[in-house]
Chain A
Amino acid sequence: MSIPRADGGTGGRVVLVTGGSRGIGLACARHFQSLGDRVAVTYRTSPPAALGGQDAQSPDLLPVPCDVRRPEEVEAAFAAVEQALGPVEVLVANAGVTKDTLLLRMSEEAWNEVLDTDLSGVYRVVRRGLGPMVRAHRGRIVLVSSVVAFLGSPGQVNYGAAKAGLVGLARSLAREVGSRGITVNVVAPGVVDTDMIASLGEQRVEQLLAMVPLSRKASPADVAGAVGFLASADAAYITGAVLPVDGGLAMGM
């Protein structure tokens, strides 16, 4: 089922968004859905809430359970998507967690949990998704990093390290698979209106917003627009790029 589009885009692609039950991931899923793509989302704790409501009838948002810390669950999720929709053509690695505390108080467990999900989880997902893309000689990979990779954030040594790691991952991989027409890019969101940001506390959010030239939070849809662009035909010659979606918060970094 390929839906031709007037703008020359490629509707009807198979898209997988990890961590797609809420926040940025869900916004990305909806964005691709609106383009006519066939979209699967992975979730760890709960399937997309809206699936029980307005989207219950939608055959195009396929929820698959997956804890990206577990290779066998990553394999099972891809197998389920491939069986239901076909090989993944656009992969958005978005699943991530935080476990904030100052380094002096940061346990091995808090460090490992965040690295295992936010960095190693991306390794697992991308590694599994890449084979079919290499064979097809096309594919789009977008990694969701964070402004914290460049700006730093007290209490987020683990998260900042993982999110900065994604840039090196993306750029090395971009060089590995460029000859196959596969692009690998990164978006670096700033203060986005999500549960994750809310957990920082109002005071910290106000502090951050004071440094944002556009002086507002991003909506998840703002980030989805950038992710959608990097996966679009218009971004065919962009790879290894980091696209900040931060209202100017970290400009120049």
Chain B
Amino acid sequence: MSDDASFDKFKACAIDVLQVPPDKVVPEARFGDDLDADSLDLVELVMALEEAFDVTVDESELEGIETVGQAYDLISAKL
């Protein structure tokens, strides 16, 4: 899968789970401040991403992940 296709898939998950407009899901967007996501939203997003990309994300890997870009890098590194 190309990087663009992967990011589109990632974006689709984020839009669906976080219920945000597509143009807000950009690499520099912060989950808390910009996307208004609470901790449970993020857990939901991680679960959706795990399912969509068929990867496993350990709790410890989520430490310090604050932006869409960071989260996408975490997932894409596993592909």
B47 with A180: CB separation less than 8 A: no
A177 with B40: CB separation less than 8 A: yes
Determine the distance from Cα of A80 to Cα of B9 in the docked complex, in whole angstroms. Answer: 29
Q: Is A131 an interface residue (CB 8 A)?
A: yes
Secondary structure of the A side of the interface?
helix
Classify chain B's interface size: under 10
Q: Which of B19-78 contact A (CB under 8 A)?
A: 38, 40, 43-44, 47
Determine the distance from Cα of A215 to Cα of B44 in the docked complex, in whole angstroms. Answer: 48
In the complex formed, the residue of A with least CB distance to B44 is A134
CB distance from B28 to the nearest CB of A (A): 26
In the complex formed, the residue of B with least CB distance to A176 is B40
Q: Enumerate chain A residues within 8 angstroms of B44, measured Cβ to Cβ.
A: 134-135
CB distance from B29 to the nearest CB of A (A): 21
Q: Enumerate chain A residues within 8 angstroms of B38, measured Cβ to Cβ.
A: 179
CB distance from A181 to the nearest CB of B (A): 12
**B residues within 8 Å of A by Cβ?**
38, 40, 43-44, 47
In the complex, 5 of the A-B residue pairs with CB atoms within 8 angstroms, ordered by the A residue number, are: A134-B40, A134-B44, A177-B40, A179-B38, A179-B40
New contact pairs (8) apart from A135-B44, A177-B40, CB-CB < 8 Å: A131-B47, A134-B40, A134-B43, A134-B44, A176-B40, A179-B38, A179-B40, A180-B40
